[in-house]
Amino acid sequence: MEVDVTTMQTTQRIDLTRMEYKYKIASLGEALGEGLRLAYIDEKPKSQAKGIIVLIHGFPQTSYQYRHVIKPLVSAGYRVVVPDYRGAGLSSKPDDDFRKTTMANDIVLLLDHLSITEPVHMVGHDIGGMIAYAFATRHAERTASLIWGECPLPGTKAHEEDRTIHGVQQFHFLFHSVPDLPEALVSGREELYLSHFFDKVSYNRSAISQADLEYYASMYSRPGALRCAFGVYRAFLTDADENLAWIEKHGKCKVRTLGLSGGNWRHKHAAPDMFKEAHEDGTIEVKELPESGHYVAEENPEGFVEVVLGFVDA
């Protein structure tokens, strides 16, 4: 089943006109007794596509974070698929299971729904990077290439240091993991809370306008959205165990990969060693995007598109 979300009625004020692309909602199966529904954008070039690029967003964002880069990627000849991952944006809000392997399998179901059988170029940012890595390792045969970054992968030294050594800067890793309390404290204050993250880790803060912030806040004000957002973090310890077990049994990721960091944010310092922990030697290239902090696709969209196309076209 596929639904055009622009025809749906909602009791909340959500300005969908801020995204110029049409959302569709795919019903993909059962998630803890409820039908899993993923909202997504699917834009195709006018001629035969050179390939398929899947863009996976992070927190505190939705697929909206890629609003500036979809058109240039399509104009370059690629079909571009951009979902809201489970629990975020216009996708359904399951009660549990935010392991990144589960969220990667959701992408597999979406690709099957779209009858996409060829390997795709996976691009993930922040939480989306964790999902993209899980996809590329567990579904390597469906992955043409991988671009990910701006996230400390669970199971790596960088992730553990963010939880401990950088505890003040990364307070939300632990705060979001506390049962129930974050929802109670943040509910009704979504805009204030989300603005902290944009203020803290942006280099080009003007790239996320007040209207953009309000859009994100409206999405995280939807029923169940905060619970799901924090559930993504509550799964990190399980994610770490799963990643370490996978590497021990199957080895590191062998998919051709670009590790991408914002050139003006501290994660760039830990990124090279983190990528070495997770990827086979000779499969990973590491780059920094200039004039960008954490939110690479929003702070420097032109540079982001150039880097992505330079990698997937190679």
Splitting the chain (314 residues) into consecutive groups of 10 residues, what average pLDDT does each group show?
Answer: 48 59 88 77 96 98 98 98 98 95 97 98 98 99 98 92 67 86 95 95 95 97 98 97 98 98 87 95 96 97 98 95
Q: Determine the CATH number of domain 2-312.
A: 3.40.50.1820
pLDDT in tens, 273-292: 999 999 999 999 999 999 99
Distance separating alpha carbons of residues 62 and 217, to the nearest angstrom = 10
Taking the C-alpha atoms of residue 231 and residue 304, their distance in angstroms, rounded to an integer, is 29
Per-domain boundaries in the chain: 2-312
Nearest to 293 by CA among 304, 281, 282, 278: 304
Q: Which residue has the tokens 């280099």?
A: 203
Give the pLDDT confidence score for residue 8 in this predicted structure.
43
- Give the model's pLDDT for residue 139: 99
Compute the mean pLDDT over every residue in the chain, rounded to the nearest whole number. 92
Q: Which position has the token pair 């780059």?
A: 287
Query: Residue 261 phi/psi, 5° resolution?
Result: -125, 150
**What is the per-residue pLDDT for 10?**
43
As a whole number of angstroms, the distance between CA 23 and CA 14 comes to: 13
Residue 9's pLDDT is: 40
What is the pLDDT, as a whole number, of residue 171?
Answer: 84
In sequence order, the 6+-apart residues with CB closer than 8 A to the CB of 89 are 39, 57, 62, 63, 64, 219
- Residue 102 near residue 61, CB atoms below 8 Å: no
Q: What is the pLDDT of residue 267?
A: 80
- DSSP classification of residue 168: T
What distance in Å separates the CA atoms of residue 180 and residue 176, rounded to the nearest whole number?
Answer: 9
List, for residues 250-274, the tens digit of each pLDDT value. Answer: 999 999 999 999 999 878 888 999 9
The pLDDT, as a whole number, for residue 35 is 80
Please give the pLDDT value at position 7: 42
Is it true that the peptide bond before 60 is cis, omega within 30 degrees of 0?
yes
Q: How far is CA 128 from CA 9, 103, 188, 206, in A?
A: 28, 9, 26, 23
Amino acid in position 61: Q
Residue with tokens 């409206």: 218
pLDDT at 160: 84
